[in-house]
Amino acid sequence: MNVAVIGTGYVGLNTAVSLALHGHRVVGIDVDEEKVKQLKQRHCPIYEPGLEEAMRSVMDQGNLHFDHTLNGEAKEADILFICVGTPESADGSADLGYLFAVVEDVRAVYASNPVRRGVVIKSTVPVGTGDRVAELLGDCKELHVISNPEFLREGSALQDALNPSRIVIGAESAAAFSLMDELYEGYSCPMVKTTRRTAELIKYASNAFLATRISFMNELARLSTVLGTDIETVARGMGLDSRIGPEFLRAGIGYGGSCFPKDTIALLQVGKRNGVKLSILEQVREVNRTQPEWCVQLIREQLGGLHGKRVAVLGLSFKPDTDDIRESRSLPIIKQLLHEGAIVSAYDPISMETVAKLYPQVSYADDIYATLTGADAALLATEWKQCVNLDWQKAKAVMAKPVLFDGRNAWPSELVKQYGFAYQGVGRS
């Protein structure tokens, strides 16, 4: 099919490349002409494993092009994916400004060209947004508004887009469903077909539930620390129950990223606007907000205060294999450490330059052992493999004191103790 993907950010670019790999003819559209120029020169603007190579190969095959307007190749599209950002607005609700600007463009370009097409919303949007879009496009009878939320994870985005766990399609007409059946013919995962509004809620509910699991484990980790129990073993014992499952039970310094923080508050706003208090979700956010403070408290107690103490922070991005630092929990931790007078050094394989703009007081080094040199404590904030697999002898030799805080429960606790480190994990010791 001919597909136009509007918005070439994380979701858009991975969607475009994956659909091209599935054999569709795709044009990626972005209003940012500089970005389009880069993309045309085969340069991928985001760091995502495998994406640039895959993008180049589908471009070479002629299945993927880029443009800055809907008035070119996109005019032929059978499906128009809307993949623009829906950032958090001042009150926490999703800002739909970019989305409605695209809808206006779609209306202007396709109203005079009445061929059956799907206008597919992949951006994460509050329940009812698809209905509003359908109203706005009401007189363009051949434009079918469809909700098809995206569940890809940064760091494995292309694989997730190529082999999704499920495809959720929310639509209001048989014609719309048949367009999507044709588009996803080559995919083998389960498909959930429902109304637009239900599909929209599935997306928010999924992210909110995953965030809930994490905050639940993080709160339990606080208790586990006091009880002297091991949260990792608790998680394993829980996860073997097929009703619970093993995923997303990892305690740590909290969740970050572009989705969980933004989508949980947006869902709270949806609840509020509809007169329903989502109290569990409020607590999920509260636990996540206070988890970095709780971690800093552990470090403070272990070091007998933070003033003048040297703390090395390993890993800055919100999770490994991404350059994304949005809502990364390393940031409030660094802020608090600096606030209390600690001397902070930091290392990350990709994100140091971005973080340096926020925290120029921190010293950054390309070498982990240089970051650890003279440190009174090291904190693992993001479980990059470079930060997890250390030469422990060397680490101990360069640090001023052998004190480790494992904010991701990823260091080998027994091994490091054998090397003489004092080890403290999240909910385990």
Annotated binding-site positions: 30, 35, 86, 124, 151-154, 203, 248-252, 256, 262, 319, 326
22 close to 186: Cβ distance less than 8 angstroms: yes
| Nearest to ligand UDX of 105, 324 (CB atom) | 324
Q: For ligand UDX, which stretch binds (CB under 6 A), given 125-133, 138-146, 257-265, 335-343?
A: 257-265
SS3 at position 296: helix
| Nearest to ligand UDX of 25, 319 (CB atom) | 319
Q: Which residues pair with 118 in a beta bridge?
A: 79, 144
Total residues belonging to the chain = 429
DSSP 113-135: S---EEEEE-S---TTHHHHHHH
Q: Residue 90 CA to chain centroid, in angstroms?
A: 20
Tokens in use for 315?
A: 């890993």
Select from 184, 174, 170 the least CA-distant residue to 120.
170
Asked about 259 being catalytic, the answer comes back as yes
Question: x/- binding map, residues 259-298, to ligand UDX, per CB under 6 A?
Answer: xx--------------------------------------
One of 31, 46, 75, 151 touching ligand UDX (CB under 6 A):
151
| Nearest to ligand UDX of 179, 214 (CB atom) | 214
Max distance between CA atoms of the chain, in angstroms, equals 74
User: Taking the CB of residue 182, how many other CB atoms lie within 10 A of it?
Assistant: 13
Select from 204, 224, 222, 220 the least CA-distant residue to 274.
204
Which CA distances in Å does 351 have to 226, 273, 320, 417?
Answer: 34, 37, 10, 30
One of 68, 107, 117, 319 touching ligand UDX (CB under 6 A):
319
Select from 186, 207, 185, 203 the least CA-distant residue to 194.
203
* Shortest reach from residue 263's CB to ligand UDX, in Å: 7
* Shortest reach from residue 324's CB to ligand UDX, in Å: 8
Quote the strand ranges of 319-383, DSSP E.
343-347, 363-364, 377-380
Q: For ligand UDX, which stretch binds (CB under 6 A), given 126-134, 250-258, 351-359, 418-426?
A: 250-258
Cα torsion angle, 409, 411, 417, 421, sign = negative
* Shortest reach from residue 249's CB to ligand UDX, in Å: 6
**Which distant-in-sequence residues (6+ apart) come within 8 Å of 188 by Cβ?**
none
* Shortest reach from residue 256's CB to ligand UDX, in Å: 4
SS3 at position 402: coil
Interface with ligand UDX, residue 100, by CB under 6 A: no
| Residues 422, 417: Cα–Cα separation, whole Å | 6
Q: For ligand UDX, which stretch binds (CB under 6 A), given 150-158, 336-344, 349-357, 409-417?
A: 150-158
Spot the catalytic one: 83, 140, 189, 259.
Answer: 259
Tokens in use for 383?
A: 């479980």
One of 126, 252, 332, 427 touching ligand UDX (CB under 6 A):
252
Show binding-site residues for NAD(+).
Answer: 30, 35, 86, 124, 154, 262, 326
Show binding-site residues for substrate.
Answer: 151-154, 203, 248-252, 256, 319
Q: For ligand UDX, which stretch binds (CB under 6 A), given 1-9, 148-156, 277-285, 385-393?
A: 148-156
User: Taking the CB of residue 266, how many other CB atoms lie within 10 A of it?
Assistant: 24
Q: For ligand UDX, which stretch binds (CB under 6 A), given 29-37, 107-115, 147-155, 293-301?
A: 147-155
One of 25, 35, 65, 250 touching ligand UDX (CB under 6 A):
250
Question: x/- binding map, residues 339-378, to ligand UDX, per CB under 6 A?
Answer: ----------------------------------------
Residues at the site binding ligand UDX, with contacts judged by CB under 6 A: 150-154, 207, 210, 214, 248-250, 252, 255-257, 259-260, 318-319
Catalytic residues: 259
